[in-house]
A = this chain, B = another copy of it.
Amino acid sequence: MAASARRGQALTLEEICIAALRLIEVGGVEGLSMRKLAAELDVNPMSLYHHVENKTELLKQICRLTAGTLELPPDDGTPWPDQLRALAHAYRALAHAGPSLWLYVEQHPDVLPEEDGLWEVFDRNLAAVGIPDEQRPHVRKALYAFCTGFISAELVGALDRPDGVTDIDRTFEVAIDLIIAGLERLSAQQP
């Protein structure tokens, strides 16, 4: 009674990841269970452990897979405000493509090896702004925090409530404008 007993083909890691992603986007990360996943694949729950160390390791794999699809703005001569805007939009688009998983990554940043590309884009553009070296790591982290903070607040519904204003895309633009304005002002203050 081998694989062919329950299913035609052998189980693959890719197959597992795809099914897991489907389950996650339906029921959230906390709605994913190894047993449900196995049922989805018509397989014994324990078979999964031949392809994946454990549940958190599976999640890590999936997170890295989707994080790799982030489209970073290239290092052409584009003015820094446009590059920062582009990065913010790309990040938000990625979040909207898989909200549950994105929220999981936000709370477990250690699942990603290091978001090198992201920091590079920030640094390159902060240099263009004219932020002094000493301040750059701080500003870089502030930008990161602002960006993830907005998206996270949006995804969990924290921005739905205080009023009837529902144009969240507009709010995002205003938020970006605010940051850019702040950077411009810091820039103007530099010698």
A residues in contact (CB < 8 Å) with B: 103, 106-110, 114-115, 119, 135, 137-142, 144-150, 152-154, 156-159, 161-163, 165, 170-171, 174-175, 177-186
Contacts and interface: CB of A to CB of B under 8 A. Distances in A.
A171 B183 CA distance: 15
Nearest to A118: B162
Contact of A141 (B142, B145, B159): B159
B109 A175 contact: no
Given A138-B171, A146-B145, A161 B107 contact: no
B149 A148 contact: yes
A146 to B, nearest CB: 5
Counting chain B CB atoms within 10 Å of each CB, the highest count among A110, A141, A171 belongs to A141
